């Protein structure tokens, strides 16, 4: 184990030359910013010394005095950011977090220049970031080796695909990963603790709440609760999905049982052949339905969160029509988005057994029902009226067409896209290696 971890660390620790290059870039930009009479600060894993080899993010926050209005802060932030990129001859882009900010690619690095308030009472995630950096740096100063332990955990999480708070992953953010190691002391102690986590585990590093019951009550929807040491009312793990949390716990257990390099650097599975996929589909005797579309370069976070919202709405509609899925999942790349459904019930009789009012209900309700369905010959079942009426949709294809037309509960940005439906083998017309890998996973090949 010791040897394995040492080997991994050797591969993931940033090289001395990387660090020097990054420091140089920061110094260069810092000087330009400070010419404007404001202070700035390096944040993120680079500042904390918890970054991995090959990481290409340099995050710089400009600190503005608290009495500045939000408009002035945004204006000054953008102006200074634009000036920086102009001076270093980089084409800037404006992106949006809580405030708009400027980003650009310089010497191969993604440089973000973000305005924030220099305040002791941070009101936004952006304002909180410098405090996060400060908190972690303080802890790492007290324990020099901890940075490497954090690097190991980050790489482990990347390997098992639970790292990153973005909508695509819904996993563990860098800050959350750092807090876990700070709390448990080392990479291995973290995995040992994680492997024994209880349902709705509470981690409160600075003991800000004093007990576990109150935070559970305060964060009722979270499956993991990690109190932010710089803001007791914030759950750092709020964005972690149940799925990623479970995968993390199970992988921690498996790694402790048999530690292997593959947890950190998994081998990519072979792309399955069309023949094998088709075989598996016909073997399961289910019905696969893919709803796919060209997303025309939609922002990834937006795309994934709207795919999730939309697939949940579609499932609700499907159930209203009495069809039933075994499971469903989403997939996307930089071109298309896919919602994939596997059906247990996709064909239904022509009639539906439709319950009407109780025979004890108001005469008006009963007469209305009896008149409406007169031709279908209503009858009594127990104490209710019932009728075997024509079902609206007997085939999932027809129901799905209506659902995609109505777009009830669809994500806002998915209301304008043009959906296509592919069934079973037709799905293989989405000829992308990564999608085939996703299919193989979905079909348990």
Pick 195 or 401: Cβ nearer its own copies: 195
Q: How far apart are CA 110 and CA 104, in angstroms?
A: 6
Sheet strands (E) in 283-348: 287-294, 324-332, 336-345
Q: Minimal distance in Å, beta carbon 310 to its own copies?
A: 19
Question: Taking the complex as a whole, how short is the minimal distance between the CB of residue 440 and its own copies, in angstroms?
Answer: 11
Of all residues in the chain, what percent are helix, strand and coil, respectively (each to 5)?
45, 20, 30
Question: Encoding tokens for residue 30?
Answer: 């810092």
Min CB(71)–its own copies separation in Å = 44
In whole angstroms, how close is the CB of 32 to its own copies at the nearest point? 49
Q: What minimum distance in Å lies between the beta carbon of 257 and its own copies?
A: 10
Q: Residue 354 belongs to what H/E stretch?
A: strand 351-358
Q: Return the sign of the alpha-carbon dihedral for residues 148, 152, 158, 161.
A: negative
Q: 42 has which bridge partners?
A: 60
CA distance 34 to 22: 18
Q: What is the DSSP letter of 220?
A: T
Q: Reduced to 3 states, what is the DSSP secondary structure of residue 62?
A: strand
Given the complex with its own copies, which of 366 and 413 has the nearer CB atom? Answer: 366
Give whichever of 40 and 314 is closer to its own copies, judged by the CB atom: 314
Angle, helices 146-159 vs 125-142, to 10°: value is: 120
Beta carbon nearer to its own copies, 15 or 380: 380
Q: Which two tokens stand for residue 328?
A: 């469903």
Nearer to its own copies, 371 or 377 (CB): 377
Closest CB 11 distance from its own copies, rounded Å: 28
Query: What is the DSSP pairing of strand 109-117 with strand 57-64?
Result: parallel
Instruction: Output the smallest distance, CB 200 to its own copies, in A.
Output: 9
Whichever of 144 and 198 has its CB closer to its own copies, that residue is 198
According to DSSP, the residues that pair with 289 across neighbouring strands are 341, 423
CA–CA separation, 162 and 178 (whole Å): 14
114 vs 180, beta carbon nearer its own copies? 180
Q: Using CB atoms within 10 A of its CB, is residue 324 exposed (0-12), middle (13-18) or buried (19+)?
A: middle
For residue 378, the minimal CB distance to its own copies (Å) is: 9
Cβ(395)–Cβ(289) under 8 Å? Answer: no
Task: Decide: helix, strand or coil at residue 71.
Answer: helix
Residue with smaller CB distance to its own copies, 359 or 402: 359
Compare residues 62 and 281 and give the one whose CB is closer to its own copies: 281
Contact 9, 148 (CB under 8 A): yes
Contact residues for its own copies, defined by CB under 8 A: 197-199, 223, 242-243, 245-247, 249-250, 283-287, 326-327, 343-345, 348-351, 353, 358-360, 376-377, 379-383, 388, 394, 444
**How near is the Cβ of 304 to its own copies at its closest, in Å?**
18
Half-sphere exposure of 118 (CA within 13 A, CB side): 12
Q: Helices 16-34 and 70-87: crossing angle, nearest 10°? A: 120
The candidate with the shortest Cα–Cα distance to 218, out of 72, 275, 208, is 208
Least CB distance to its own copies at residue 442 (A): 10
CB closer to its own copies, 96 vs 383: 383
């Amino acid at each position: 184990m010791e040897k394995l971890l040492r080997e991994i660390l050797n591969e993931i620790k940033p090289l001395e030359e990387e660090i020097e290059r990054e420091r140089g870039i920061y110094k260069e930009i810092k000087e330009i910013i400070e010419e404007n009479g404001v202070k700035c600060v390096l944040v993120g894993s680079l500042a904390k010394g918890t970054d991995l080899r090959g990481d290409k993010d340099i995050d710089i926050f400009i600190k503005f005095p608290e009495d500045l209005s939000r408009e002035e802060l945004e204006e000054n932030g953008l102006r200074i950011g634009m000036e920086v990129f102009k001076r270093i001859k980089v084409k800037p882009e404006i992106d949006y977090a809580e405030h708009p900010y400027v980003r650009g690619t310089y010497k191969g690095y993604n440089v973000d220049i973000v305005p924030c308030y220099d305040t002791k009472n941070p009101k936004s995630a952006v304002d909180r970031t410098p405090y996060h950096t400060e908190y972690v740096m303080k802890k790492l100063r007290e324990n020099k080796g901890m940075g490497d332990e954090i690097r190991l955990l980050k790489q482990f999480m990347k390997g098992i695909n639970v790292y990153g708070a973005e909508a695509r992953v819904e996993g563990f953010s860098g800050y959350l990963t750092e807090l876990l190691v700070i709390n448990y002391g080392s990479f291995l102690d973290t995995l040992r603790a994680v492997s024994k986590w209880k349902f709705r585990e509470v981690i409160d590093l600075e003991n800000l709440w004093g007990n576990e019951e109150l935070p559970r009550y305060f964060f009722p929807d979270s499956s993991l609760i990690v109190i932010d040491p710089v803001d007791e009312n914030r759950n750092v793990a709020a964005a972690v999905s149940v799925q990623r949390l479970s995968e993390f716990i199970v992988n921690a257990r498996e790694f402790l049982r048999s530690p292997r390099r593959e947890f950190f650097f998994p081998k990519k599975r072979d792309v399955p052949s069309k023949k094998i996929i088709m075989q598996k589909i016909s073997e399961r005797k289910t019905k696969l339905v893919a709803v796919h579309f060209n997303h025309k370069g939609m922002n990834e976070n937006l795309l994934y969160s709207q795919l999730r919202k939309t697939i949940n709405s579609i499932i609700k509609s499907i159930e209203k029509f009495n069809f039933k899925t075994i499971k469903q999942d989403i997939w996307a790349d930089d071109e298309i988005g896919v919602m994939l459904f596997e059906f247990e019930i996709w064909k239904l009789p022509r009639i539906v057994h439709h319950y009407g009012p109780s025979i004890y209900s108001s005469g008006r309700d009963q007469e209305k029902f009896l008149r409406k369905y007169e031709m279908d010959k209503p009858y009594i079942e127990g104490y209710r009226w019932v009728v075997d009426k024509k079902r609206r949709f007997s085939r999932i294809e027809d129901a799905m067409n209506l659902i995609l037309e109505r777009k009830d509960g669809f994500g806002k940005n998915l209301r304008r896209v043009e959906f296509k439906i592919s069934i079973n083998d037709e799905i293989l017309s989405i000829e992308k290696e990564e999608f085939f890998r996703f299919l193989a996973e979905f079909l348990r090949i």
